[in-house]
Structure formats: structure tokens, C-alpha cells
Structure 1
Amino acid sequence: MSTILPCSELTKKAIEWISEGLKEGKPLAKLLDEGAMRFNLGPNDQEFLARFYKEKSGQNDDCQ
């Protein structure tokens, strides 16, 4: 059973930034690492982003 966590503003901004990078064809792993540094995300937020993009099925309604 997964726990639903509210998205922080920094996490929302990281999701937007990573999504733009993916549209440009950049590799997800690099975007996740760079986004974590750029938005000063902690380990829990980094894990959330990794899960978010692995489980993403085409829609992002969780953090809007």
C-alpha cells in the first residue's frame, strides 16, 4: 500500500523542469540527478520523483 504525500512547491517545480527536459529528449536519470541539486531536494523528494516517473502512465494529476 502506497502513502499519498503532498507535493511541495520545490517538487512541483522539479517535476515541471524534468518534464521539459524529457520533451527535449534528455535522459531521465540525468534530469533526476540535476533536478535534485537544482531544486535542493532531500532524499525523500528524490525517491518520490524517481517513483513518480517510473509509475507515470501519461497523466500527472497528483501535483496540480
Structure 2
Amino acid sequence: MTTIMPASELTRKAIAWICEKREEGGRTLPALIEEAAARFNLSPLDVEFLQRFFRENQDCQVR
């Protein structure tokens, strides 16, 4: 059975995934955000949020 998650939970999972992949290296942040958008089925507004989040939080620390 498929569970529907709130959008905010998907965004949190995308942030965690991007932070993990950034530590591994090899891909640019825009490429990771694009892949996270597809992987977590994010809306264009969620993608804008991710771009803003990583612009303001370079070290993946959630405030």
C-alpha cells in the first residue's frame, strides 16, 4: 500500500538526500536539486525552496 506524505516531509527528505550526495561529491548542486525534484516528485515551488535553502545554508545545517 502506498503512503502519501505531506509535501514538507518530501522536501525534508530531499534536503537530507542532497546533503548526503554533496558529501560524496562528483555532482553540482543544481544537478542534485534537479535529480531530487524528480526522485521526490517535488513541485516547482519546492525546487525554488531548495535553491533558496542551499543558497542560504551552504553547510547543510538546518536552523
TM-score range, shorter chain: 0.7 to 0.9
Task: Could you list the structure 1 runs, at least 4 aligned residues long, displaced by more than 2 angstroms after superposition.
Answer: none
* Pairwise CA RMSD: 1.4
Counterparts of 1:17-32 in structure 2 under 5 Å?
17-25=17-25, 26-32=27-33
Q: Name the residue aligned to 1:53.
A: 54
Letter in 2 for 1:60: V
Q: Which structure is higher in helix share?
A: 2
Q: Name the residue aligned to 2:39.
A: 38
Identity of aligned residues (%): 53
Which structure is richer in relative contact order (CA contacts within 8 A, separation 6 or more)?
1
SS in 2 for 1:8: helix
Runs of 5+ consecutive residues of structure 2 not aligned to the other structure: 1-6
Runs of 5+ consecutive residues of structure 1 not aligned to the other structure: 1-6
Alignment coverage as a number of residue pairs: 55
